[in-house]
Amino acid sequence: MKQRLLRDLPLLLLTFSLGAAALALIIRLVGASPVAVSKALWDGAFGSRYSLSETLVQTAPLLLTGLGVAVAFRCGLFNIGAEGQFLVGAMAATGVGILKNVPAVIHLPLLLLAGAAAGALWSGIAGLLKVYRGVQEVLSTLLLNFVALQMLSWMVRGPLQEAQKGFPQSDLIAVPARFVLLAPGTRLHAGVLLALFCAALIWFFLRWTAGGFALRAVGSGEGAAEAAGIPVRRTVLATFLLSGALSGLAGAIQISGVTYLLSDGYSPGYGYTAIAVALLANLSPLAVVPSALFFGALTAGSNVVQQRIVGIPSVVVQVLQAVVLLAFLAYAWARERRQRREEGGVA
């Protein structure tokens, strides 16, 4: 293992150096200093106690949606619908959070359960379509994102709109339904710890349980898994439900820990960024944690970049994310190609 890492290190440094050069060129082309942008990103992500807390706050939803995507991909299911599952989870959580006369001790657990259940059901639609109608999940999950987006717009102007009906948003959720803040003067909440716990739980499930083995076996080859007696249909449906539940839980945690209400344009695209998070982590539940932290840091740092550097487009950070992901994919491709060549698979 150590020898392989040492052998791959030059290739890793080369690909990421090329990526860094490409980023510097892009930043120069938009009229900014790469050094100034890098410093602003670092300060916004880790430069202070508050900055670090904002990075962790941004990491939590990316971690859970990234886990949802990674679980589906490990089963060979291309779930592109984490964004929609995130949104319906937030809607369900808001519906429970604004309820009155709910015992305080169970209000938060009910909110989280509602969010996870809604995400699971939304993902389950795509699962049923795939299993019983052969509909490709890439298409169904992607289209369900747009349905969820329109549903959100309707909800905040209809059933969930605030009592005064002044803005397209809900009322604030009840105080007992909110996460405890971990650091005074910041937005860091206990939901971040729950997200980390979920990462450990998913790792344990995939590594040490029969259900996790079945999931990985189906992802490696449905035919072989079925020949081994693994119920493929049931495993596919269960994976869809688990994947959606994690993304729905992410939506609930954002409601309970950050925003305390639902509004139009609620998500900045966590569900789409989750795909990059999962791929950068190579679909490993534990590796999703640093991957989500990286993208969370970029998201938190981008706010400082916008404040300090006049005229820099907001999409520069998205380009930065894309270049980093492409550099990683290039490294993975080059490493695999070299291994195949060494094994005699490539002339």
Q: Which residue has the higher pLDDT, 39 or 56?
A: 56
309, part of any domain: no
Sign of CA dihedral 293, 295, 297, 299: negative
CA dist 230 and 218 (Å) reads: 8
Mean pLDDT in the chain? Answer: 87
42, part of any domain: no
Q: Which domain holds residue 198?
A: 59-288
Percent composition of the chain: helix, strand, coil (DSSP 3-state, to 5): 75, 0, 25
Number of domains in the chain: 1
pLDDT at 282 over 90: no
Q: How confident is the model at residue 308 (pLDDT cuts 50, 70, 90)?
A: confident
Which range is least confidently modeled, 85-94, 145-154, 253-262, 300-309? 300-309
Read off the pLDDT of residues 126-184 as tens digits, 9 standing for 90 and up. 999 999 998 999 999 999 999 999 999 999 998 998 888 778 889 999 999 999 999 88
16, part of any domain: no
311, part of any domain: no
Amino acid at 270: Y
254, part of any domain: yes
Read off the pLDDT of residues 322-337 as tens digits, 9 standing for 90 and up. 777 777 777 777 777 7
14, containing H or E segment: helix 2-29
Q: Mean pLDDT, to the nearest integer, of 2-11?
A: 60
Q: Mean pLDDT, to the nearest integer, of 71-81?
A: 93
Q: Which residue has the higher pLDDT, 240 or 36?
A: 240
Residue with tokens 């980093």: 324
Which range is least confidently modeled, 6-15, 32-41, 154-163? 6-15
Phi then psi dihedrals of residue 155, to 5 deg: -60, -45
CA dist 48 and 268 (Å) reads: 24
Q: Mean pLDDT, to the nearest integer, of 22-40?
A: 79
76, part of any domain: yes
Which of 19, 140, 21, 37 has its CA nearest to residue 80? 140
| Residues 100-104: contacts with CB under 8 Å, at least 24 apart | 100/174, 102/174, 102/176, 102/177, 104/176
9, part of any domain: no
pLDDT of residue 347: 41
Q: How confident is the model at residue 209 (pLDDT cuts 50, 70, 90)?
A: very high
35, part of any domain: no
